[in-house]
Structures are given as structure tokens and as C-alpha cells.
Amino acid sequence: MSSKPLYVMLCSGEHEKIQLAAMVASVAAVSDRPVEVFVTMNAILAFERGKSPAERYQGGHFHEMFKTQNVPDAIELFGQGKMLGEMKMWVCSMVLDLKHWDHEKHLTEDLFDGPMGLAKFLADSENGELISI
């Protein structure tokens, strides 16, 4: 029996929320659970190409602790989840339009499977469990 797919809507730019989304998505993916992540609103800023880990994230209560205690970087965790499990990542087409960005040019290399609209993501998520972070 296969697991229900997990759909993660990531909309916050706070470091700890991006970190949580990366941990949940990557652990589920490497545990043989299909995962789809939809990145929208402020969260997209953490995936901007060329930013160092120090520049990627907005605050949050645990922000400084993550940096000083060598917690694995969230972007790297998403990459590991994609590499080791069944994970797809989508970027919100509306936010790309608002920012005048092309996902292949402006966002982290090889992380996103492409742009997607919210309506399509929500329709797809009816087949699984949806969490919003």
C-alpha cells in the first residue's frame, strides 16, 4: 500500500518555517512518501539565485541558533529530498509574474520542477494531505 502524497504550501519567509518545511518534505520523501512543495509569497525570496545562506532567510526565533549551531541549510535539505526521494518543487507562477522573474534564471538551480498556479496545486493536493507553512 502506497502512502498518501504530502503537499506542502510554503508561503512564509521566516527562517524557521522554511527550515520546518524542508525537514518535513525531505524526511517524507526519503521515507518513500511522494511530496510536492509549492513555494509562494515571501518564501520565494529564500530561493533567489546567488544568495548565500546568511542572506537567504528572514528572522524568526530560532534564526540565530540555526546559523551558529550548524543546522543543515534548508535549501540543501530540499535538494537532498529531491535527490533521495520522490519530491517535486513548484514555484508560484503569480509571484514570478509579479517579480518579473524567470524561474530558471532567478531561482536556485535544479531545485524547481517549474512554475505552477495555485488552482492547479490545490486541485492536485485533493489526492493527498495538504499542510501550509
Structural domains of the chain in order of their starting residue, each with its CATH number: 6-132 (3.40.1260.10)
Predicted confidence at residue 39, as pLDDT, reads: 98
Q: How far is CA 48 from the centre of its chain?
A: 12
Predicted confidence at residue 19, as pLDDT, reads: 95
Predicted confidence at residue 57, as pLDDT, reads: 85
Measure Cα distances from 90 to 2, 60, 62, 102 in Å. Answer: 23, 24, 26, 13
What is the pLDDT tens value at each position of the chain, 133 positions in all? 468 999 999 999 999 999 999 999 999 999 999 999 999 999 999 999 988 877 888 887 888 888 788 888 999 999 999 999 999 999 999 999 999 999 989 998 789 999 999 999 999 999 999 999 9
Alpha-carbon span 6 to 35, nearest angstrom: 5
Predicted confidence at residue 86, as pLDDT, reads: 96
Predicted confidence at residue 1, as pLDDT, reads: 44
Predicted confidence at residue 2, as pLDDT, reads: 63
